[in-house]
């Protein structure tokens, strides 16, 4: 699902005009982004949590030339899936596979 599909889904499910749904989605994403930039964590119960992980600088090797290079320290967002979402994905992923499989033909011998 891409952002435009999420906006369309929100518009349909909440019976909102698409422009209002777009504002809502952008507001949520902007708030989450600002929180992560400040170093705050985000926890959405039943879904998961986001936080920023700090990585130290280090020395590495350039893959093509093999020369030594310095890799700068960096901050990266990290998502940890919540227990409810993980269980729901695992349970629902196995159920449709069974129900969507081709109907089994009976052997008439």
Mean pLDDT of 70-87: 96
Write out pLDDT tens, residues 57-68: 999 999 999 999
- Identify the domain containing residue 29 by its residue range: 1-40
Which pLDDT value is given to residue 96?
54
Which pLDDT value is given to residue 109?
46
Mean pLDDT of 1-14: 97
Residue 82's nearest CA partner among 37, 49, 40 is 49
Check pLDDT > 80 for residue 97.
Answer: no
Q: Are residues 75 and 31 in the same domain?
A: no
Q: Give dist(CA 27, CA 11) in Å, integer.
A: 15
Which pLDDT value is given to residue 52?
96
* Whether this model's pTM surpasses 0.75: no
Q: Are residues 67 and 32 in the same domain?
A: no
């Amino acid at each position: 699902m891409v952002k435009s599909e999420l906006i369309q889904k929100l518009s349909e499910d909440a019976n909102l005009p698409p422009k209002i749904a777009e504002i809502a989605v952008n507001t949520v994403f902007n708030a989450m982004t600002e929180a992560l930039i400040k170093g705050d964590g985000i926890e959405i119960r039943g879904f998961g949590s986001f936080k920023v992980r700090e990585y130290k600088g280090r020395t590495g090797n350039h893959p093509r030339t093999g020369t030594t290079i310095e890799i700068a320290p960096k901050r990266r967002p990290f998502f940890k899936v919540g227990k409810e979402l993980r269980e729901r994905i695992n349970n629902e992923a196995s159920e449709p596979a069974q129900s969507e499989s081709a109907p089994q033909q009976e052997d008439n011998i």
